[in-house]
Structure 1
Amino acid sequence: MTIQAVIFDWAGTTIDYGSRAPIVAFQKAFDNVGITITEAEIRQDMGLDKYTHICKIINLPAVQNDWQARFQVLPSSDDCDRIFHDFKSILLASLTDFAQLKPGMDQVISYLNEHHIAYGTTTGYDSEMLALVLPIAAKQGYQPTVNITSEQTNGIGRPAPAMLELASDKLEITNAASVMKVGDSINDILEGQNADAISVGIIDGSNLMGLSQAEFDALSAAEQAALRTKVADEYKKVGADYILQSMVELPALIDSIS
């Protein structure tokens, strides 16, 4: 099997170590209506498009209980709309602070270019969010050929295969088994599986790990090892085809498959 294309996720996979930008924005947007949400509550559905993700959060039993206690009514679709618009404003204002490429991406980009392997992205960002990230990534040498949001697939995002299939179509790849999907959340792995692509989970700096680089570096070697094992186990539970500690290992994986 020859890998013909690699489709990456963005935050937590190629940029934004620990996928911090969305977490901060989600928490601030809910805090602005007096509702406190935890990172665990946010991260369990990471990888969805952001509007769907907010609707998922707002329907969590704990959030519904807190909302009813505060406002004496359950949250409505209008509340979901309002929080999304606030979330989006917060995220747009902070995205450029979280657009640094993750360690290993320089080597991956060089490898893909040298071996003439096409690459693109699917994302939970919308087009306006993506428009902020793309030029910053480009200045760092990262220029995916295609970038697919759920706006291009009639609102169908992960874990459905629609975005990944569209990315493959645009890259003129007809054999799904020759496409590799690389991500950092459970929904990334499921997206790859549902598209019949090869799914790869990245451990370090991932949504599943949930720590900034400084937080991870502050852990002892034993704590780092235990956390990496925990994340790997989560990928294994959903059937990831391959699990890599970091992006540095991706070129060797592609070589071994090819």
Structure 2
Amino acid sequence: MTIQAVIFDWAGTTIDYGSRAPIVAFQKAFENVGIKISEAEIRQDMGLDKYTHIHKIINLPAVQNDWQARFQVLPTSDDCDRIYLDFKDILLASLTDFAQLKPGMTATIDYMNANQIAYGTTTGYDAEMLAIVLPIAANQGYRPTVNITSEQTNGIGRPAPAMLELACDQLEIKDYTTVLKVGDSINDILEGQNADAITVGLIDGSNLMGLSQTEFEALTTAEQTELRMKITAQYEAVGADHILQSMADLPALIDMINQPVTDRH
């Protein structure tokens, strides 16, 4: 088999170590209406488009209970809309602070360019959010050919395959089984599986890890190993095809997949 394209996620995969920007924005937007939400409550649905994600959070039993205790009514769709608009303002204002390429990305970009492997993205960001991160990423040498949001698929986001399929179609790739879907959340893996792509879960700096680079590097070696094993188990539980510690490991994985079966040892 020859890998024809790689479709990446954005935050937590290629930029924003630990996928911090959305977490901070979600927490601030809910704090602004007097509701505290934990990172764990947010991260369980990461990878969805942000509007759908707001609805998921607001429908959590704990959030519903807190809302009713505070306002004596349950939240409405209008409340979701207001929180989403606040969330978006907060996120747009902070994205530039979280757009640094993750370790290993530069070498991976060089490898894909040298081997003429097409690459694009699907994302939970919307077009306005992408408009901020794209030029910052481009200045660091990362220029995906296509960037698909759920706005381009009639609002159908992950875990459905629509965004990934559209990305492949725009890259003129018909056989999705020759495509790697690389992400850092369970919804990324499910998106890839639903499109019959080869799925790759990243460990370090992922949404599943949830730590900034400074926080992760402050852990002991034993703690780092234990955390990596925990994340590996989460990817294995949903059937990810490959699990990589770092983006730096992606070129070797592509080489291995591209190698004829008879040459493998």
Corresponding residue for residue 21 of structure 2? 21
Please tell me whether residue 219 in structure 1 is matched to residue 219 in structure 2: yes
For 1:40, give the aligned amino acid.
A
- Secondary structure of the residue aligned to 1:157 is coil
Superposed displacement of residue 121, structure 1:
0.1
Map Cα deviations across residues 32-67 of structure 1 (whole Å, 9 max, x no partner): 000000000000000000000000000000000000
For 1:73, give the aligned amino acid.
V
Superposed displacement of residue 217, structure 1:
0.2
Alignment of 1:100-111 (within 5 A): 100-111=100-111
* Whole-angstrom distance in 2 between the partners of 1:141 and 1:220: 33
Identity of aligned residues (%): 81
For 2:197, give the aligned amino acid.
A
Corresponding residue for residue 6 of structure 1? 6
Corresponding residue for residue 91 of structure 2? 91
Superposed displacement of residue 229, structure 1:
0.2
Please tell me whether residue 61 in structure 1 is matched to residue 61 in structure 2: yes
Corresponding residue for residue 124 of structure 1? 124
Corresponding residue for residue 52 of structure 2? 52
For 2:191, give the aligned amino acid.
E
Please tell me whether residue 113 in structure 1 is matched to residue 103 in structure 2: no
* Whole-angstrom distance in 1 between the partners of 2:115 and 2:142: 16
Deviant stretches of 4+, over 6 Å: none
Superposed displacement of residue 164, structure 1:
0.0
- Secondary structure of the residue aligned to 1:211 is coil
Map Cα deviations across residues 208-231 of structure 1 (whole Å, 9 max, x no partner): 000000000000000000000000
Map Cα deviations across residues 108-140 of structure 1 (whole Å, 9 max, x no partner): 000000000000000000000000000000000
- Secondary structure of the residue aligned to 1:34 is coil
Aligned CA RMSD, in angstroms, stands at 0.2
Corresponding residue for residue 228 of structure 2? 228
Corresponding residue for residue 263 of structure 2? none
* Whole-angstrom distance in 2 between the partners of 1:96 and 1:233: 32
Q: TM-score, with normalisation over the residues of structure 1?
A: 1.00
Q: Which runs of 5+ in 1 are unaligned?
A: none
Corresponding residue for residue 142 of structure 2? 142
Corresponding residue for residue 239 of structure 2? 239
